[in-house]
Structure 1
Amino acid sequence: MKPIRYERRKYTQGPTPIERLERLSQVLGGPHISIKRDDLLGLTAGGNKTRKLEYLVADAIRQGADTLITCGAVQSNHCRLTLAAAVREGLRCQLVLSAPETGDYNPQAGGNHLLFHLLGAEQIEVIPADGDMLAAMEKLADSLREAGRKPYLIPVGGSNEIGSLGYMACAEEIEQQAWESCTPFDYVVTATGSGGTQAGLIAGFLARQSSAKVIGINVSRDRASQEAKVQELLARTAAEVGLQATIHADVVQCEERFVGPGYAIPTEEMVEAVQLVARTEGILLDPVYTGKAMAGLIGLIREGRFSQDDHVLFLHTGGAPALYTASELFLPKQG
């Protein structure tokens, strides 16, 4: 392995817990379900991007950067956490946000958008939903370079071969926790969007020669596009660390049936999943990522995808601030 796997910042003290969801498992009558609480990772309000940023920010500091630039949706968890990492490290941060695909951009929105301002983003640029976020980031970077500053660009979701190292490390953490609890996991289920979390998990399990299978529940693209995206990033991640394992195409599994009309657009299955987990386990999911991922897990259980003896680990990737921008989905209907 190459030393880059060991070159990171540290924003969380110790591993995130794995909890057994006994009441949810009983209600669904399916496999043994546990949850990996990556919503409890360090930095503001937690979430899976923290693991990626430990490596990305280390790379930025190594290159002498003074400003992080990244992009995402107007309620992006990744933008929130990148900004929080910048604050922690004494760096400045600029954000490129894509306007919602449905409805208008609200400059007074709450949730993560509120936190962008509270945490002190140096600049926020909002572009159309179909705009080129990379080009917008490059334009900001050029302006900073002209002013004698040193920007570091982080892709959407922190999903490149460096960011994915965070979930290689997570796979190793899961394997250690499984050994300590005498509970090997047959499947790990996660939301998959920009692809870095899923690619990193697969690479990490391959490096440990684990038999755990990773199932991604799509939050945006169709199955073929998402699997191709994850496969390409998996190959780059493996090359980055010098992983010699044979990577078969079928190691990447993505389920497209739970996306609904599109990214961040609610579905009835998502609403049911968020309510069910809240009312059986007291755990909050979000309407964009973990709600749809849990809806996927519930759907697969109901279809008989797993045996009752299987141990399934659901990865909670965070995102709860988005709940407070969608209260109309969960409050009782008036009238």
Structure 2
Amino acid sequence: MTSLNDVPQPVRLGTWPTPLEPMPRLAHSLGLGAEDLWVKRDDLVGLGGGGNKARKLEWLCGAAVAEGATHLVTTGAPQSNHARLTAAAGARLGLETVLVLAGTPDATPQGNLTLDALFGATCVWAGAGGGPALATAAEDVAARLRADGARPALLPFGGSSALGALGYGACGHELLTQAPDLDTVVVAMGSGGTMAGLVHALGPQRVLGVHCGAVTDPVDVVAALVSDLSGAPLPPDSLRLRLDQVGEGYGTLTEPVMAALNRTARTEGIVLDPVYTGRAMAGLIAAVADGDIAPGRRTVFLHTGGLPGLFGHTGALAATAADLTTRSRTL
């Protein structure tokens, strides 16, 4: 894909540009200068609780609307931010949304699942297993909808395809307008489209991705998406991608991530989530410690949202409750 003329035009779902704000107290705590560390607030996009998926969905839903879709169908984990924002986009556009989720329903839905219901989405539970099995389940759901006379648009996992990644190509150019001296943007790498779009716009040396455990082959996934966007192969070894923050797995909270959540909240009043942005911030902190991010250069942390997921993560809630107990006093 080499130009925007090759695809349908996007629909408008977010409020752009999102703010770029300094984080001087967090920077000071890391040994950086007050002007060295900034945050790109893609948690404040104005759709469905915010987050990076809105930029991807503008392009994916633009194609769906152009094709006359009546339904949006997509996949994810129970606390999927992409699923939540797909449900919000469907509500905004007057399209029915079906979310095909891994696992089984919770007795008391929390976090993103609460918002999925609020937006009117239908949740189809696919049982244990993800990846190909979840994709097959979504294709089966779409086939049943077609048999009933509907016109479903099947959106990729995480909104990550070359088409969806165009949203973060646009974000990369937006960042260059706001911060022409940008040295490094740090971003959570989940399904790969956000990082790929930024690499397409900014080049691989200005983008530091932090793997969150959502896919098994993160380097190849991002390289393939960038290659699709540019029409030319991207050497996988040209990517800056940290693999050291996954811990025991995608949904498992680690001590560095909890520490990153606390430090960011207590220095800047900014809330991260325990799966994506928390890992990205833990990766940024580690990159400062090992010299990959240095003082005197502008670093931007891309806040990709995910706040509702904090309230659906039992590990993070338990850690916060324990901390609250130690800080509580009675008169």
Whether TM-score is above 0.5 comes out as: yes
Looking at structure 1, the residues matched to 26 and 123 of structure 2 have their Cα atoms a distance apart, in angstroms, of 43
Distance in 2 of aligned mates of 1:5 and 1:282? 40
SS of the equivalent of 1:42 reads coil
Q: How many residue pairs get matched?
A: 317
- TM-superposed deviation, 1:41: 1.1
Check conservation: 1:49, 1:158, Cα contact below 8 A: yes
State the Cα RMSD in Å.
2.0
1:261 aligns with 2:244: no
Q: Quick one: which of 256, 265, 284 aligns to 1:278? A: 265
* Equivalent AA in structure 2 for residue 215 of structure 1: L
Residues 14-55 of structure 1: CA deviation (Å, up to 9, x unaligned):
300111110001011036111100000131100000000000
User: Match of 2:76?
Assistant: 72
Q: Are the aligned partners of 1:108 and 1:114 in contact in 2 as well (CA < 8 Å)? A: no
What is the CA–CA distance in structure 2 between the aligned matches of 1:5 and 1:167, rounded to whole Å? 15
Distance 1:6 1:23 in 2: 43
Deviation of 1:130 (Å): 4.2
Task: State the partner residue of 2:152.
Answer: 151
Distance in 2 between residues matched to 1:135 and 1:290, nearest whole Å: 29
Partner of 2:129: 129
Aligned to 1:115: 115
2:221 to 217, 220, 229: 229
**Residues 96-146 of structure 1: per-residue CA shift (max 9 Å, x gap):** 1112xxxx7524221001111111113432421347111001110111111
For residue 162 of structure 1, give the secondary structure of its aligned residue in structure 2: helix
Contact 1:270 1:287 in 2 (8 A): yes
Note the residue ranges of structure 2 that are not aligned, 5 or more in a row.
327-331
Measure how far apart 1:193 and its partner are.
Answer: 1.3
2:186 aligned to 182, 186, 189, which one?
189
SS of aligned partner of 1:330: helix
Pairs within 5 Å for 1:1-335: 1-4=3-6, 7-30=9-32, 32-99=36-103, 106-130=106-130, 132-179=133-180, 184-206=181-203, 213-220=206-213, 225-239=217-231, 247-325=234-312, 326-332=316-322
Q: Is the 8 A contact 2:185 2:301 kept in 1?
A: yes
Amino acid at match of 1:35: V
Given the two structures, how large is their TM-score scaled by the length of structure 1? 0.89
Identical pairs, percent: 40
Which digits, 9 at most, give the CA deviation of each residue in 1:277-301, with x for residues without a partner?
Answer: 0000000000110001100100111
Tell me how far apart the structure 1 counterparts of residues 288 and 29 of structure 2 sit (CA, whole Å): 11
Distance 2:7 2:265 in 1: 36
Secondary structure of the 1:68 match is: strand
**After the TM superposition, which of the residue ranges 3-12 and 59-68 deviates more from structure 2?**
3-12
Rounded to whole Å, the distance in 2 between the matches of 1:52 and 1:107 is 31
Amino acid at match of 2:318: E
Q: 1:167-222, CA deviations, whole angstroms, 9 ceiling, x for partnerless residues?
A: 0000010011114xxxx11111100010000001011124xxxx861011000068
Structure 1: stretches of 5+ with no match in the other structure: none
Q: Write the distance in 1 (CA, Å) between the matches of 2:214 and 2:51.
A: 21
Residue identity in the other structure for 2:254: T
CA distance in 2, matches of 1:79, 1:229: 20
Aligned-partner SS, 1:36? strand
Per the TM alignment, residue 2 of structure 1 is displaced from its structure 2 partner at its CA by 3.9
Is the 2:7–2:63 contact (alpha carbons within 8 Å) kept by the matching residues of 1? no
Separation in 1, partners of 2:175, 2:32: 22
How far has the Cα of 1:302 moved from its partner?
1.3
Per-residue CA deviation, residues 236-291 of structure 1 (Å, 9 max, x unaligned), is 1223xxxx7x8444432211111110002100000000000000000000011000
How many angstroms does 1:304 deviate by?
2.0
- What is the identity, as a one-letter code, of the residue corresponding to 2:217? S
Asked if 2 retains the 8 angstrom alpha-carbon contact of 1:96 and 1:127, the reply is: no
Displacement of 1:4 in angstroms is 4.3
Contact 1:213–1:251 under 8 Å retained in 2: no
Following the alignment from structure 1 to structure 2, what is the Cα–Cα distance between the partners of residues 249 and 156? 21
Tell me: CA distance 1:137–1:109, structure 2 relative to 1, closer, same or farther (3 Å). Answer: same
Contact kept, 8 Å, 1:185 with 1:212, in 2: the verdict is no
